[in-house]
Amino acid sequence: GESGYFDTRIIYVAEEGPKTQRVKKLAIMDQDGFNTKYLTLGNELVLTPRFNPTNQMVTYLSYFRNMPRVYLLNIETGKQEVVGDFPGMTFAPRFSPDGKKIIMSLAKDGNSEIWVRNLETNIQEKLTDHPSIDTSPSYSPDGKYITFNSDRSGYQQIYVMRSDGSKVKRISFGKGIYGTPVWSPRGDLIAFTKLHKGKFFIGVMRTDGS
């Protein structure tokens, strides 16, 4: 069987304070909305938290002295570790299914590409190399493929490639701007968002785009 829905926890960014002095904290709660716990103090901006496969670790993006920095945080012990400083804009770090790597979009030379960092060796590798903007990467459950969005076709669409960056294939062809693709736990579907004629949509498609 599959994991129970009500046994899960939700990691999110909570905002507090007056409109002119908003503070963003990393927070966690049970699926039913109870047992909220704050994981950061709100001293620095925090964005895009993601669980590792065991739900014991969280990776997230924060700004330290205006420098994008990716962190690992152990939920149980509170121990925090810096994965690295990344000059330029960095977005949405995510764990690989085995928890040994983090994938992210990184504008290292002014252009956003997909990068992967091995947490055991600290070796970083660029997976895409294209003059377009490549962002929002997400692994398939078996770790063999990555989905991401790119505007290499002229406007933002969804693509799939092998986890080593090869065999890039476009899978969305509809009108509108497609984004934030995420693989389903079973690996048979990819969820996505779409903006078309000023309206937002959430949808799913098969991994071949059908």
- Report the share of the chain in percent with pLDDT over 90: 50
Six-digit token pair at 87?
Answer: 């000059």
Distance, C-alpha 20 to centroid of its chain: 28
Name 138's bridge partners.
147
In this structure, whether the domain defined by 5-152+162-171 belongs to CATH 1.10.760.10 is answered with no
Condensed to tens digits (0 to 9), the pLDDT of residues 148-166 reads 999 998 999 999 999 999 9
Q: Identify which of 142, 178, 146 has the alpha carbon closest to the alpha carbon of residue 165.
A: 146
Average predicted confidence (pLDDT) for the chain: 88
Rounded CA gap, 137 and 105, in Å? Answer: 7
Beta strands in 75-198 (DSSP E): 80-85, 90-95, 101-106, 113-118, 124-126, 134-139, 145-150, 157-162, 169-170, 177-183, 189-196
CA–CA dist 195, 26 (Å, integer): 28
Token pair belonging to 95: 């764990």
Could you tell me the pLDDT band of residue 4, with boundaries at 50, 70 and 90? Answer: very low
Rounded to whole angstroms, the Cα distance separating 166 from 164 reads 6
pLDDT in tens, 26-81: 899 998 888 899 998 888 888 888 888 888 899 998 877 777 788 899 988 889 88
Q: Are strands 37-38 and 124-126 parallel, antiparallel or unpaired?
A: unpaired
Would you place residue 6 in the very low, low, confident or very high pLDDT band (cuts 50, 70, 90)? very low
Residue with tokens 């997909």: 114
